[in-house]
Structure 1
């Protein structure tokens, strides 16, 4: 890709932003070398890596890159036999630790959230614990060689500390001696040239033996090494030379070990640079509020609400543009300062960003194309020398573009044909556009020439566009309008600014009739567009409202289904318990019948008992049988039972006759050879005794125990006091619960809020209430409380 074009489209500034977000110097170096790719598979791989890193950044706030340093120069010196200093070795150890920690982080995260591409890169990082541990055991975090680096170094340093202690002790005794103290400038022991000395006043030099190592700037103080400690200092000097030799030996051993693993370490650095670079792209995407674009290689662009990444979000106007489907060329016309150049740069820059594996500042669903090259002739005319030099500069650039472009290129022209005679310039611009369009390139061009409006109107695959201008405020809105050519607003602007209407009318008379018709057509198109946009906005609002209602309805239906399933499950459980109880009672009865048969030698046969048990087994409900659910959901009629009626004992599945009634709740039933008391609720009337019944009995026989078909779901309490309302609410909730309602509405009105507060306090303690809330918009707002029942 031509670097001049990338500079023109401000791609280099985006790369600078990317460099700032890298965590290490390795990543910054990698980011600074970013170039767009013309291969679709490579671009998709880059975007996938950025997407995975963005996922990590969103879930974990980024990846750990602490401790990682650029140690490539140190590795090179180790390879050629150089000795590394403690700081360089410490950086290598820190880089090994940082790489191992990063690898562990990505591996563990991959188990929770798949990030296969990042995990694949991290998997290539080699752990070298041997070298890392060796460096850490010899050098501390302050790049100081530790005593335990070798036994010899530990012994030497121990002797040095002992020797220094003896020297200081000797000198401290001298300093504290009164006869010597008066000759000292200060009562202290110091070091000069790695030897312990004391500060002696210059006038006492002749009274003080020893070697002079230094003097103060004024010459009043001499730093003298007394003769009594010369031998001791000499011994310390020898020990320190041995220490330096031992330290050098340790550093050379470590450097040789680094050289041994130099190639794997260098490979690790490349992988760490790649990972840091990928995460820098993710951070940049977050900062720019960018999204993952869909990519293709068929020359199709569809940018939704695209923003120039270098313009503040508060001031940038989003760009909507589509290119490469119904039309491959867009001609943008309109006045200066309308935003044409920004639109042109946004299209080119977002394409370059996507081809580099960067997210683009646009809405989800935007599509961009992988071009083999992007060419641009964009420049501010005021920044170039005028007249022939302007035209010459543009034409030189355009000639280079025409020479290098291919059918898979994107070409961007700003003010095509400018800088020369308008008639010749427009004719030349049309010829250049025609040539590029016939080649099949994707092209966006801006121009002042009105002749190009007619060209775009007549050519298949070419479409007009313009930058919207608000005639009321005399200012551009910077919105790109595809399909509408730009109109000249000179007369309207002049009239708004106060130019004489007579002059304006005279000027209009100078404009050709054809041009006036074109302007009139454009004005009509713009008016129709504004009307269509208003209607579309209204339709969008209605659609959103319908979707909201649909979501609410689906939620209500889901809650109803949950409540129904809950009630069915409860009913099935109760049925199972009832059948189990009946089975136990039946087994007891059968056992009793057997005992009686044996005692009385009556004719109760075993096969009849087995048949009875089989019928009991068949009475167990099947939990997933929809037919049984349907049948069980329909209420059964209860009938008045009297003496002589044939009945079915449902718990035993046996028919018998009522002998007499035993109170209001039980009846004595004749079952074969035995009589037994049975609860009335366990009896089902088969046929009534064929005899006349009293009017009271007739009335009783018509009573039904079933739920009212018109169950209320709302209770209106407006106008009632709190005490009356609570009684009504209690009765209403009981009825609703018995009717298996999942949700009801209590209407109390807004008023002073006393009724609402009292009712909601009562609902907190009610046994049937699962939860409650104030009504939403469309449900009555604060004037309604929505109650969810258990």
Structure 2
């Protein structure tokens, strides 16, 4: 496709919308490169990709693509022996993690038997590389810093650094207390990476040491006292040693990354394609678009098609078709009526379809794959080339006519305009005849009344128009296929107040042929409106009838299914009752036989035997009664953990532990836990709610609450709710400091905890715990 055509039909704006739907720079790269294809097989594959992504989005709402970055430059540098920075190594680990999350997401969809072969094939290419991810994350924290635990040597060096810093600060603190009058400010600061004091210039000799800097006024000197020079030197040496060890660790990680660079590039290629697929799916969802059936026969059929660049609250949807009964459409009608919009709609939707993008129309649309799409749209007058509007258009048309063939879509806007009307109309008809003779698909807009009759004289051509409401004097932007446009000049003039005698005189000047044609068009428009109203009414009735049929059919099937289930369960229950009764009766008979051999049968023996039979009878009654009173779980009824239920397949009562999926629950039966289908459960009762105990309890005159709270493994909202209650209890208990254990994980909970601390009135300050307190997995609150 020519770049000029893509620009004329504003395909670049569609690509911009597509880029906004991508989650990564990788997907955006493919969106920028997107171009229409002329290969039917390739276009069909692209649409299958888009449809799979749209299907997943409909079912799941979104797809996990977080943490994935373009690490290809990192891999290239690592492959040639370069050392990656800590943040670059972390990007690699984050991308591995993001790929694994996506892989698991797709595998879960496979378990749900959702047909997504393309996505499955792409995620099968993703290597998990767990060892590499773990190696990086064991050395680098979530903020891109090399951790103390990256090596035992680094841990020792950093311990020394903290010791030196502590000694220096203690020494300098003594100066700030004992010689504060000699200091411009009683603080410790840093110059040239060394700890110094801001000393007033006149007291320089009282400190000795090294001057590292001075203030702009010269009144303050930043001095490193002699007493800390040696320790500062040791601190600098330790920092140099620390950097060497960090470089060694990063080089080691870079080597590991280089060894797996082939797998990582393979992962990146798959993730790029997946992100691009879902960007196309998201764009389709945003546009409420549908998957078109592609063909190479030049057939275009769209119902309720909408121009994708016009806002939803302004756009008018239209039906459009061509390629079967006719190959050319001539659209007539007034200016600003929507002729050019219709032209661009068909052209842009064609380019979108040939790029694997769904089109904004109802389901069941058909689009063609063309070798070329040509357009002559808008005013292309060129001052630099000294060409008039007509000359400019004709130059473009000449180029089109030289390249047109049977598999071409041609769009002419105001064909033949810019010259004498009679000559322009003749040229327009001649040009259309030539394009039609090449079996191309062509859509042309025009003002010339001569072209209204053009469509009636040629089988391959049909007329169309954009509707105009003479009552409101505004276009409706509705496309009317098969009906040429009316001039409406007399009706408009009359409504605007032109005198009747002037209008009558004007009408008398119009030939009988022209008047007949206008009357015929008016009759066609009226007939079309009546037919459309009847069609809409019939479609509405048909939809209601189909909905009623579907409802009745569903209810009938449910009835048949439940009927069979109830009969089967009743048979099983009856068989068990009969077996129990037979066993009990046999036992009673055995007892009677034994007593018959005795000389005397005591009265209480008969009473006991009678009681057994009575008990068996009551058991039967209670069983039937319980069976009638127990309620089967409805399809739309959700059971909650703790609910007491009867498991029909085991004829035992138990309680719900958790819901596994929409159709299964985990049920506790005695000491066993097992998965049970929802249709085998009968609801008995739900236990009463028990008030949640507070985190702090009152004993005597004060609150007693633990000095730490563990939030790991909890949902984000639940964790913050519990945190808020805990802090209130801790304040009432009189704690001055508490520890909040949130773990590292993705960092979301940690950020939530620290954001909470930042805004809470009772928290004076907060910080991460020391290494022996949990490091970045723990936040310490100091309470007011």
Give the TM-score normalised by the residue count of structure 1: 0.69
502-511 or 426-435, which deviates more = 502-511
CA 1:126–1:405: 2 relative to 1, 3 Å:
farther
SS in 2 for 1:375: strand
Residues 662-677 of structure 1: matches in 2 within 5 Å? none
Residues 623-642 of structure 1: matches in 2 within 5 Å? none
Preserved CA contact (<8 Å) 2:381 2:387: no
Preserved CA contact (<8 Å) 1:193 1:213: yes
Correspondence 1:134 to 2:159: no
Correspondence 1:52 to 2:28: no
CA 1:579–1:477: 2 relative to 1, 3 Å:
same
Which residue of structure 1 lines up, in the alignment, with residue 155 of structure 2? 154
Correspondence 1:454 to 2:468: no
SS in 1 for 2:453: helix
Residues 11-90 of structure 1: matches in 2 within 5 Å? 11-90=11-90
Distance in 2 (CA, whole Å) between partners of 1:205 and 1:481 is 95
* CA offset digits 1:387-422 (Å, max 9, x no partner): 961111111211222222221111111111111111
Distance in 1 (CA, whole Å) between partners of 2:458 and 2:343 is 21
Preserved CA contact (<8 Å) 1:183 1:204: yes
Give the TM-score normalised by the residue count of structure 2: 0.69
* CA offset digits 1:167-190 (Å, max 9, x no partner): 22233334444xx34323333333
Distance in 1 (CA, whole Å) between partners of 2:231 and 2:567 is 100
Which residue of structure 2 lines up, in the alignment, with residue 121 of structure 1? 122
Which residue of structure 2 lines up, in the alignment, with residue 98 of structure 1? 98
Residues 263-282 of structure 1: matches in 2 within 5 Å? 263-282=262-281
Deviation at 1:215, TM superposition (A): 2.0
Residues 490-501 of structure 1: matches in 2 within 5 Å? 490-501=489-500
Which residue of structure 2 lines up, in the alignment, with residue 525 of structure 1? 524
SS in 1 for 2:315: coil
SS in 2 for 1:444: strand
Distance in 1 (CA, whole Å) between partners of 2:221 and 2:548 is 96
Residues 287-302 of structure 1: matches in 2 within 5 Å? 287-302=286-301
Preserved CA contact (<8 Å) 2:486 2:522: yes
Distance in 2 (CA, whole Å) between partners of 1:363 and 1:343 is 17
Distance in 1 (CA, whole Å) between partners of 2:364 and 2:509 is 48
CA 1:386–1:553: 2 relative to 1, 3 Å:
farther
Distance in 2 (CA, whole Å) between partners of 1:550 and 1:202 is 97
Distance in 2 (CA, whole Å) between partners of 1:117 and 1:429 is 48
Residues 11-410 of structure 1: matches in 2 within 5 Å? 11-112=11-112, 113-177=114-178, 180-380=179-379, 389-410=388-409
Residues 430-441 of structure 1: matches in 2 within 5 Å? 430-441=429-440
Deviation at 1:203, TM superposition (A): 1.2
CA 1:528–1:221: 2 relative to 1, 3 Å:
same
SS in 2 for 1:182: helix
Distance in 2 (CA, whole Å) between partners of 1:207 and 1:578 is 105
Residues 505-520 of structure 1: matches in 2 within 5 Å? 505-520=504-519
Distance in 2 (CA, whole Å) between partners of 1:447 and 1:543 is 39
Deviation at 1:30, TM superposition (A): 1.5
CA 1:88–1:504: 2 relative to 1, 3 Å:
same
Q: Could you list the runs of 5+ residues in structure 2 that have no partner in the other structure?
A: 584-784
SS in 2 for 1:434: helix
- CA RMSD in angstroms comes to 3.2
Distance in 1 (CA, whole Å) between partners of 2:511 and 2:487 is 14
Which residue of structure 2 lines up, in the alignment, with residue 620 of structure 1? none
Deviation at 1:72, TM superposition (A): 2.4
CA 1:408–1:230: 2 relative to 1, 3 Å:
same
Distance in 2 (CA, whole Å) between partners of 1:570 and 1:269 is 55
CA 1:566–1:147: 2 relative to 1, 3 Å:
closer
Preserved CA contact (<8 Å) 1:388 1:420: no
Distance in 1 (CA, whole Å) between partners of 2:319 and 2:257 is 56
CA 1:568–1:508: 2 relative to 1, 3 Å:
same
Distance in 2 (CA, whole Å) between partners of 1:443 and 1:124 is 45
71-80 or 380-389, which deviates more = 380-389
CA 1:502–1:200: 2 relative to 1, 3 Å:
same
CA 1:484–1:150: 2 relative to 1, 3 Å:
same
Distance in 2 (CA, whole Å) between partners of 1:291 and 1:566 is 41
CA 1:215–1:256: 2 relative to 1, 3 Å:
same
Distance in 1 (CA, whole Å) between partners of 2:246 and 2:574 is 88
Deviation at 1:13, TM superposition (A): 0.7
Correspondence 1:445 to 2:474: no
Distance in 1 (CA, whole Å) between partners of 2:123 and 2:558 is 47
SS in 1 for 2:18: helix
Preserved CA contact (<8 Å) 2:93 2:137: yes
Which residue of structure 2 lines up, in the alignment, with residue 3 of structure 1? 3
Preserved CA contact (<8 Å) 1:388 1:419: no
Distance in 1 (CA, whole Å) between partners of 2:530 and 2:373 is 37
Which residue of structure 2 lines up, in the alignment, with residue 647 of structure 1? none
Deviation at 1:48, TM superposition (A): 1.2
Preserved CA contact (<8 Å) 1:26 1:273: yes
Distance in 2 (CA, whole Å) between partners of 1:132 and 1:469 is 65
Distance in 2 (CA, whole Å) between partners of 1:356 and 1:99 is 26
Deviation at 1:205, TM superposition (A): 1.4
Deviation at 1:81, TM superposition (A): 3.0
Preserved CA contact (<8 Å) 1:110 1:116: no
Deviation at 1:483, TM superposition (A): 0.8
SS in 2 for 1:138: coil
73-82 or 343-352, which deviates more = 73-82
408-417 or 66-75, which deviates more = 66-75
Preserved CA contact (<8 Å) 2:382 2:388: no
Distance in 1 (CA, whole Å) between partners of 2:559 and 2:131 is 65
Preserved CA contact (<8 Å) 2:37 2:354: yes
Preserved CA contact (<8 Å) 2:337 2:477: yes
Distance in 2 (CA, whole Å) between partners of 1:508 and 1:21 is 57
Deviation at 1:557, TM superposition (A): 6.6
254-263 or 430-439, which deviates more = 254-263
Distance in 2 (CA, whole Å) between partners of 1:165 and 1:252 is 31
Preserved CA contact (<8 Å) 2:140 2:147: yes
- Structure (1 or 2) with the larger CA radius of gyration: 1
Distance in 1 (CA, whole Å) between partners of 2:554 and 2:13 is 49
Deviation at 1:10, TM superposition (A): 1.4
Distance in 1 (CA, whole Å) between partners of 2:8 and 2:450 is 27
* CA offset digits 1:142-193 (Å, max 9, x no partner): 111122223322222222222222222233334444xx34323333333221
CA 1:151–1:555: 2 relative to 1, 3 Å:
closer
Deviation at 1:550, TM superposition (A): 5.1
Correspondence 1:418 to 2:417: yes
Distance in 2 (CA, whole Å) between partners of 1:573 and 1:200 is 96
SS in 2 for 1:485: coil
